[in-house]
Structure 1
């Protein structure tokens, strides 16, 4: 399974990651959401290089122009709610893609222990399609795993791209164990070394959903 860590390369993407991490900047919700969206746009562009292409003859006002364009049937699946601006970034580039939404949340037993629950899924069929699952934060990888299992009720994709902004090393290892190795690629803006006792990524950036849309009770 291939893992792409953009923090190991020089890219403007790193500037947007720096801003969403920065406590002096991140509380500007509009800027936070837009930076999340920008990161999604850049990742979509990079993923587009891995799609299958063929040449189509395009009619112009003056003749025919051969253009190589993607052939993949795409489904962009997003884990609510923090994933919405990230999803929009992908959709801005893959504007013809189908869309899926999964509600996954932590149900706490006490301050430290929780289970992941799936409450809602809206998705087209995904058989033999390219599935892109987006979630800004991969702490343990459990939400991603359960969301994928929920998506499998809609069919089996030909290939899978997991896109995250910040992932923990633990989540990366978990995903390697539970996703099909031969057809999965993980794309991350950064991979952080650990999670704390509350299962938050360290150093991370805090709660992406709250920073994007305000605190919840």
Structure 2
């Protein structure tokens, strides 16, 4: 299993990471969504280097050109609602991909602990395809692994899964790498933070991605 941390390179990606972290910028929900989308686009580009390609002939007005084109049959999946802007960035680049959605939530108990519940799944056939499972925050990793298992139960087993997150905790990365198929999974994160609170929030993180994108929930 490969782990790719994109912020380890000095690129424009770091500008967008800085803005989604900056509390003085976060109040602009439209900019927050757009930056999430931009990070999705950059991650999609980097991730596309791992796909299989084959030559195809394209007819131009003046002749023919041979172009290396993607062979992978791509499915982009995300967890509602926070994942939607990040998901859109991938869809901007892989615009002919299938799409899948999972509705999951934290069911809290009085002692402050919680379990993750899956309420809704919408997906097509995943068997033998390339699954891009994208979620902006990879905290404990349990929601993402649960979503993966639910998608596979409904749609079949992908040939390869690329897990993509914007901000991850070290614990979340470790959990995913221990609980996803090692030979057929790659993990892509924009940045990794060390700390995870007792309530499973990433520090310094960004806060609640869903609330920042779409407004506070009750």
Q: Do both share a fold (TM > 0.5)? A: yes
**Residue 143 (structure 2) pairs with residue 147 (structure 1):** no
Q: Deviations over 1:95-147 (max 9, x none)?
A: 01000000111011126211100000000110000000000001100100110
1:58 matched to which residue of 2?
A: 58
What's the CA shift for 1:198?
1.1
**Is residue 2:174 matched to residue 1:196?**
no
Instruction: Report the Cα distance in structure 2 between the residues aligned to 1:213 and 1:17, rounded to whole angstroms.
Output: 18
Which runs of no fewer than 5 residues in structure 1 stay unpaired? Answer: none
**TM-score, normalising length: structure 2:** 0.98
Separation (CA, whole Å) in 1 of partners of 2:97 and 2:115: 31
Structure 1 segments, 4+ long, off by >6 Å, are none
Equivalent position of 1:39 in the other structure: 39
Shift of 1:9: 1.0
TM-superposed CA distance for 1:185, in Å, is 0.5
- Describe the superposition over 1:159-191 as per-residue Cα deviations: whole angstroms up to 9, x where unpaired: 010000000000011011110111111000000
- Structure 2 equivalent of residue 168 of structure 1: 169
Q: Deviations over 1:45-102 (max 9, x none)?
A: 0111110000001111221111111110000001110000000000000001000000
Query: Where does residue 134 of structure 1 map in the other structure?
Result: 134
Unmatched runs of 5 consecutive residues or more in structure 2: none
Looking at structure 2, the residues matched to 89 and 143 of structure 1 have their Cα atoms a distance apart, in angstroms, of 21
| Cα offset, 1:6, TM superposition | 1.2
When the two structures are superposed, what TM-score results if normalisation uses the length of structure 1?
0.98
RMSD of aligned Cα (Å): 0.7
Q: 1:111·1:198 contact (CA, 8 Å) conserved in 2?
A: no
Partner of 2:87: 87
| Superimposed CA distance per residue, residues 19-60 of structure 1 (whole angstroms, 9 cap, x where no aligned partner) | 000011011000000000000000000111110000001111
Aligned counterpart, 1:28:
28
